[in-house]
Structure 1
Amino acid sequence: MLSLYGLLDKVIQKGRLTITDAKGGVHTFGGREPGPESAIRFTTKAAEWKIFLNPELNAPEAYMDGELVVDDGSIHDLVMLFYANKRQFDRTPNQIFWDSLLRRFRRFHQNNVLSRARENAKAHYDIGEEIYRLFLDRDMQYSCAYFPEGTETIEQAQTAKKRHIAAKLNLKSGQKILDIGCGWGGMALYLAHVADVEVLGVTLSERQLKVARRRAEILGVSDRVKFELIDYREVQGKFNRVVSVGMLEHVGAPYLKPYFMTVRDRLTDDGVALIHSISTKSPPGYTGPFIRKYIFPGGYSPSLSETVAAVEPTGLWLLDCEIWRCHYGYTLQHWRERFLANREIAAEIMDERFCRMWELYLSTAERVFLQGSSNVFQLQLGRERDAVPITRDYVGAEEVRIASLESEFLERVVASAAEALDA
């Protein structure tokens, strides 16, 4: 008879999983090869069948609802055990069925028309800054940080990310910059500090907009750093530079080509765009059901192949492509640890179910980058082949120059974030 335990007996090869069922029976799986260990308990018989039928959605929901309880270790240990055996899990009949079904409906899940895009943004980004302040750096950078040495703090790594992007943009005085998906304004404010430029940041989050505008006022740059509550498709005018960090994941596969067409149309003839996005080394796929339902509705991290295929019809030059492999894994590790350190506060702000959901989200995302196939790419695009120097040498030199401008500003910009968030 098919059952969850029969499936686990075949799947769990690395590490060991111990399960206490709802009647008190103990079942042990794995032990063939060394690996992570976890002990869990089911509080209902129904949880076993639900997880067997659709593990990727129903297992997280069982944990969130208290039907799956971790008795030994943490949910992170269970996630690590899952990813250690994911190759076997992906070959099971149940997962093959769900994989086929989700691929078939992925265009529906990613149908991010204007109205739906706004609702999706609110679902994640408007839950309240109090939660994000518990685990993000002080500048509220909610995207992959950059760890050149691998030993940086999250504050240092997020600054390194902004510096690296600013250097690749090769900014010049008097330029106009469009920041698509500006978040709480940190990137736009940074660019306006390291160069005499004008920046327009656009977002679909009302809460982010309020904070970003207040930060610009506090720093005295509202005359040249402006923020608007509009979709990238509604932006008009020309810009010398376009930067988009962590926004492409909200576009959806059906809209990749229109997105890059928009980027092209917004660029001046000598313009340069820097697009930073989560991606994968695997072929085009779909967003996992847990993440799509509870964390990023409408979200999808495009593969490099489908992204480049969407760029090619635009006539834009792909000036540079940089792949970041482990950086987001390190970023998420910092976020997860910081969230756990403030978990009691998070429970007071939201509730216990939310905390379980967020733990699972941060843990799963971390493992996807450190054990799975996810990565991050930065595409540098331009209308002209010589829009930037033809080697990367300028990037390092620019980073050194920009770093010399940061010291005083970094404290001011962090203070602006705290003041705006407290307002």
Structure 2
Amino acid sequence: MWLLDRFLKKLVRQGQLIIVESNGHRHSYGVSEGEAPVTVRFHDPEAPDFVAIHPYMGSGEAYMDGRMSVDDEDIMGLIRLILKNTVRDNANMLEGGIIPRTIQHLTNRFQRLNWEKRSKQNVAHHYDLDGRLYDLFLDKDRQYSCGYFTDIHNSLDQAQLDKKIHIASKLDLKSGQRILDIGCGWGGMALFLGQIADVEVLGVTLSEEQLKVARKRAKEAGLDDRVKFQLIDYREVKGRFDRIVSVGMFEHVGPPYYKNFFNHCRDLLTDDGVLLLHTIGRLGLPGTTDPWTNKYIFPGGYCPALSEIVSASEQSDLILSDVENLRLHYMYTLNQWYKNVLAARAEIIKLYDVRFYRMWTFYLAGASAAFQYGQMCNYQLQYIRKRDSLPLTRDYMFESEALLREQAKNLPSPE
């Protein structure tokens, strides 16, 4: 316990953390600030040192395996307490522990090498899970990316609809255009664009399960004649498109492939084409993906700093025409997902087991805290090939968004 004791004495300054060893000994860290303390209980004597050696990986695995528990199953409370005590100077304490940072960085760089076969394997690891799981915590349209909260009290369904409207307004859609949706998920964005505009849409994914659902939804909506889906790597897409949209896929590309991504998008765009990229990013300098997330949730995933995106895209002759930072929207989205998962505890355990449920809550709680206290954010970047491809001012976005909100009121509810 002495390793963890030393670690927590240095780390915890805000809030109060209570540790209860397997032999019943209690330790208190920090000072209560009007909130109830977070109490962690260890159920075997070796677990505290296991956590101290590699804090984020160790705590995640100890929690999943039942070697560590949190009173009231408040894993989000624990992670928030730890992250709000973490500043840039000691952020690496949670990632590598006593493992040399050089080894961590070399491992991370290898894991970002997402060649085509590996990309498909990585996607299947997360997105080919039982579809019933996603029904239990996502919105009705299965939007598995950051929502857009025009009001923090909005429902998840409203926030995800507003996200689609917000993105569509930046595409400046015209009748007869061809649109490519890279990383289309279960088809929600592609179907929405097909509903609100007289356009043809091609959605591409590497998930076989997502493809089945997307095609089924398009047929049921009577849109399968002009909203189509393919199981194909974006690098293999051919043709020309007036608009390209990519939501929540760039995190799986990997920095070694950013330049190729933008070059391929440029080649796919018509001369007056527009690309809208929506991705999780990080504030400040480039970093690394924590090892627990890379192992259990998003193998090969990486959230880029803005500088990494722009330095790659500027080599492709694309013009960066608009950038928006959705600073807290994903925190609000994740909080609703986390709440839904807690409410579906019995169903998720029945689908998988208790270990999976704990893993999923640890993932969502950690992600929410990273958007509240850490370096995570969401970027929307708009690119064009010609500087006169879009109206002179940004007014067209706001005007289009207002019109789309009215139009969306008459759309059928996603099923």
Query: Shorter-normalised TM-score: what interval?
Result: over 0.9
Superposed CA offset, 1:213-267 (max 9, x none): 0111111111111100000001000000000000000001111111111111110
Question: Is 1:37–1:77's contact at 8 Å kept on the other side of the alignment?
Answer: no
Q: Superposed, which structure 2 residues align to 1:308-347 within 5 Å?
A: 308-347=310-349
Shift of 1:96: 7.3
For 1:401, what is the secondary structure of its paired residue? helix
Hey, what does 1:219 align to over in structure 2? 221
Structure 2 residue identity aligned to 1:298: G
Question: Is 2:83–2:369's contact at 8 Å kept on the other side of the alignment?
Answer: yes
Percent identical among aligned pairs is 47
In 2: Cα distance, 1:382 partner to 1:96 partner = 46
For 1:171, what is the secondary structure of its paired residue? coil
Superposed CA offset, 1:357-413 (max 9, x none): 0001111101111111211001100100121112211111101222222223232xx
Question: Is 1:192–1:198's contact at 8 Å kept on the other side of the alignment?
Answer: yes
Hey, what does 1:24 align to over in structure 2? 24
Hey, what does 1:4 align to over in structure 2? 4
In 2: Cα distance, 1:363 partner to 1:140 partner = 19
Hey, what does 1:126 align to over in structure 2? 128
For 2:46, what is the secondary structure of its paired residue? helix
Question: Is 2:182–2:205's contact at 8 Å kept on the other side of the alignment?
Answer: yes
Q: Superposed, which structure 2 residues align to 1:164-243 within 5 Å?
A: 164-243=166-245
Shift of 1:128: 1.2
Shift of 1:288: 0.8
For 2:346, what is the secondary structure of its paired residue? helix
Question: Is 2:262–2:316's contact at 8 Å kept on the other side of the alignment?
Answer: yes
Shift of 1:282: 2.2
Shift of 1:17: 1.1
Hey, what does 1:419 align to over in structure 2? none
Greater Cα offset, 262-271 or 33-42: 33-42
In 1: Cα distance, 2:101 partner to 2:303 partner = 16
Hey, what does 1:114 align to over in structure 2? 116
In 1: Cα distance, 2:220 partner to 2:164 partner = 20
Greater Cα offset, 27-36 or 89-98: 89-98
In 2: Cα distance, 1:181 partner to 1:410 partner = 23
In 1: Cα distance, 2:43 partner to 2:393 partner = 60
In 1: Cα distance, 2:73 partner to 2:298 partner = 27
* Cα gap change, 1:387 to 1:99, in 2 (>3 Å): farther
For 1:7, what is the secondary structure of its paired residue? helix
Structure 1 residue identity aligned to 2:8: L
For 1:385, what is the secondary structure of its paired residue? coil
* Cα gap change, 1:200 to 1:58, in 2 (>3 Å): same
The size of the alignment, in residue pairs, is: 413
Hey, what does 1:77 align to over in structure 2? 77
Hey, what does 1:392 align to over in structure 2? 394
Q: Superposed, which structure 2 residues align to 1:240-389 within 5 Å?
A: 240-389=242-391
Task: Tell me the TM-score normalised to structure 2 length.
Answer: 0.96
Shift of 1:97: 4.7
Structure 1 residue identity aligned to 2:349: A
For 2:380, what is the secondary structure of its paired residue? strand
In 2: Cα distance, 1:341 partner to 1:92 partner = 32
Where do 5+ consecutive residues of structure 1 fail to align? 416-423
Structure 2 residue identity aligned to 1:102: Q
Shift of 1:339: 1.1
Question: Is 1:37–1:81's contact at 8 Å kept on the other side of the alignment?
Answer: no
Superposed CA offset, 1:165-213 (max 9, x none): 1111000011000000000001000001111000000000001000100
For 1:376, what is the secondary structure of its paired residue? strand
Where do 5+ consecutive residues of structure 2 fail to align? none
In 2: Cα distance, 1:148 partner to 1:215 partner = 27
Hey, what does 1:418 align to over in structure 2? none
Question: Is 1:145–1:154's contact at 8 Å kept on the other side of the alignment?
Answer: yes
Hey, what does 1:144 align to over in structure 2? 146
Question: Is 1:278–1:376's contact at 8 Å kept on the other side of the alignment?
Answer: yes
* Cα gap change, 1:34 to 1:11, in 2 (>3 Å): farther
Question: Is 2:53–2:97's contact at 8 Å kept on the other side of the alignment?
Answer: no
Question: Is 2:52–2:97's contact at 8 Å kept on the other side of the alignment?
Answer: no
Question: Is 2:39–2:71's contact at 8 Å kept on the other side of the alignment?
Answer: yes
Greater Cα offset, 249-258 or 27-36: 27-36
In 1: Cα distance, 2:243 partner to 2:165 partner = 15
Shift of 1:34: 6.3
Superposed CA offset, 1:246-295 (max 9, x none): 00000011111111111111101110000000001121111111111000
Question: Is 2:243–2:269's contact at 8 Å kept on the other side of the alignment?
Answer: yes
